[in-house]
Structure 1
Amino acid sequence: MARGRKGNPISGWLVVDKPAGVTSTAVVGKVRWALNAQKAGHAGTLDPAATGVLAIALGEATKTVPYITDATKCYRFVVNLGAATNTDDAEGEVIATRDSRPSDAEIEAALGQFRGDIQQVPPQFSAVRVDGERAYDLAREGEQMELAARPLFVEKLEVISRPSADQVELEMICGKGGYVRSIARDLGEALGCLGHVAWLRRVWSGPFRAEEGISPDEIERLSRTPELEARLLPVEAGLTGLPRVEATPEGAVRLGHGNPGMVLGNLPWGTEAWAAFEGRAVAVGRYQSGELHPARVFVLPPAR
């Protein structure tokens, strides 16, 4: 006889404003414990030293994680100029230094090559897999790797301030898979002075904003209380980047069983969309001639 999953079948999103010094995995564990949730995961990791938006999906919301992972994100960060580190951030060991410092005009001119569709090599200390192993595990053993460049779309990369000759504060809006540490490293190399990330904050990720996030301390204070559960955003919050169509009553039943169902809408053939019925998400799939062909089906209680 199969064992039931421990915890409560809670579904929704909790936006956490992650502080520095804690891993994303640890935050997920704290949230899952505090809500006694059966299932939890995050939509895009943050380095331990980074702060800002860490969106935690619970229950059925985990089915919408890919849509937040793929969403546009905004980062604020400071680059320390004049030194490279083995981790490309201030947590690492300095491996090279330069005395030169760029002017404001030189920084502005160099940023252009990091906008639009670019190719970016991940940091040596990253979660990229190399022959089945994580790059950061190999890097800790002293191995130098030739990591393949990956495509990244950078919508915006601008100077926010120049605190000193040794630092520049930037804001970047980018697509999926961006490494801020690589931007700092490559900008420093382009300027001829070297560079690494001093601090980093994810300001927003898709629909989720840091200023709306809850701190881990507050999560602990409100653990196992209705007040914490009240902070959850609905599963549908993870679908705001997709078109919405309304399922007919019969269509909702068919979609709920994983079959194509009739929806009210007029989208181009093959468009990925989500269907709602009585205000709740029913399924995500492809629109074809008045029907949604489901790829993911949600099991949610009726709206209260």
Structure 2
Amino acid sequence: MDGIFNVNKAANMTSHDVVARVRRLVQQKRVGHAGTLDPAATGVLPICLGQATRVAEYLSEGGKAYRATIRFGCETDTYDADGRILREAPVALVEEDIRAALPAFLGPQLQVPPLYSAIKRNGQPLYKLARAGGDVAPPPGRTVTIYALEIVSYQLPDLVLDIECSKGTYIRSLAFDLGQVLGPGAHLASLIRTRSGPFTLSQSIHLEELAQALLDGSWEDYLYAPDEALLDFDAAIVGERNEWRLLHGLDLVFPETARHNAGDLLRTYALDGRFLGILRWEDEQRRWQPHKVLTG
């Protein structure tokens, strides 16, 4: 089985739990996810099978969208509802206060991830080091981009936000930072991923529904082709000679005179419509080189 299931992850499951469940359901070893979701979070978790695991990295790199509930007046060590309470404060914020603070969080910025995260230090996840006690330095900040922040509702002390952001953005850190800026502290009360790349929550399927579809034979209705993860890339159709060269790892030359940048990626299809893989533009050779070849 080669393709992508757009799974709606339930709460209290790790992303690896979902992979293990799908692996058992399809009785296939080559299964992986495209972008970790915290156990408490729910929503879109693309699961790649077979040849589609070769394009999972491009889904992981794609933009994400979330619906977050941020609770003011309570700060925790994990920045979410599962952590130890560090500080509580009265909340007197009005919606205008929040609207005035949000623009500072838009665009590229340096964000410090939570100490309780899967980021590794000396081979160990930081959350394990933090739970072991002792003085653990916070992880270094990294550049992320928040494209959009829209208030859905605000009923004190809970703010519901729709967020569009880049890969690597920690919504827990956004909640913590917003609480710091506005004063009373805050933590992430709940999180739903509503989009990952081209895959949306409205098109997702729960694991129980997927299990039933695999039993009754309707699973193909939910399996997306591997190239669904790559629709943002330009595409080209190659003839038989270039198809042979691609499948044998040789560079390709097209008659087009369009300008390309080093590292540009190109979806490639055979004359009969089969998805062959991804080419990468190499500036020095002025050629397209096979980057990911899907032979299934």
TM-score range, shorter chain: over 0.9
Aligned to 1:283: 277
> In 1, distance between residues paired with 2:290 and 2:213?
37
> In 2, distance between residues paired with 1:107 and 1:51?
25
Of 108, 126, 131, the residue aligned with 1:117 is 108
Measured against aligned partners, the alpha-carbon deviations of 1:6-55 in whole angstroms (never above 9, x if no partner) come to xxxx2100000111121111111111211122301011011111111000
> In 2, distance between residues paired with 1:237 and 1:267?
24
Matched, 1:274 2:273: no
Aligned to 1:139: 130
Deviation at 1:219, TM superposition (A): 2.2
Equivalent residue runs for 1:53-132 within 5 Å: 53-132=44-123
**Percent identity at matched positions?**
33
> In 2, distance between residues paired with 1:170 and 1:103?
15
Deviation at 1:220, TM superposition (A): 2.6
CA RMSD of aligned residues (A): 1.7
How many equivalent residue pairs? Answer: 290
Distance 1:100 1:214, change over 3 A: closer
Matched, 1:299 2:292: no
Distance 1:78 1:265, change over 3 A: farther
Aligned to 2:174: 183
Equivalent residue runs for 1:90-239 within 5 Å: 90-143=81-134, 144-162=136-154, 164-223=155-214, 226-239=217-230
Matched, 1:11 2:2: yes
Measured against aligned partners, the alpha-carbon deviations of 1:144-172 in whole angstroms (never above 9, x if no partner) come to 3221001001110121111x221111111
In structure 2, the gaps of 5 or more residues are none
Distance 1:70 1:265, change over 3 A: farther
> Does the Cα contact within 8 Å between 1:267 and 1:287 map onto a contact in 2?
no
Letter in 2 for 1:178: T
> Does the Cα contact within 8 Å between 2:114 and 2:138 map onto a contact in 1?
no
TM-score (norm 1): 0.90
Distance 1:130 1:290, change over 3 A: closer
In structure 1, the gaps of 5 or more residues are 1-9
Deviation at 1:290, TM superposition (A): 8.5
SS of 1:17's equivalent in the other structure is: strand
TM-score (norm 2): 0.93
Letter in 2 for 1:211: S
Equivalent residue runs for 1:245-256 within 5 Å: 245-256=236-247
Matched, 1:48 2:39: yes
Deviation at 1:287, TM superposition (A): 3.5
Deviation at 1:265, TM superposition (A): 5.2
SS of 2:173's equivalent in the other structure is: helix
Range moving further from structure 2, 249-258 or 226-235? 226-235
Deviation at 1:226, TM superposition (A): 2.9
> In 1, distance between residues paired with 2:255 and 2:197?
26
Measured against aligned partners, the alpha-carbon deviations of 1:159-191 in whole angstroms (never above 9, x if no partner) come to 1111x2211111110111011000000000110
Distance 1:141 1:265, change over 3 A: farther
> In 2, distance between residues paired with 1:125 and 1:267?
47
> Does the Cα contact within 8 Å between 1:73 and 1:205 map onto a contact in 2?
yes
SS of 2:108's equivalent in the other structure is: strand
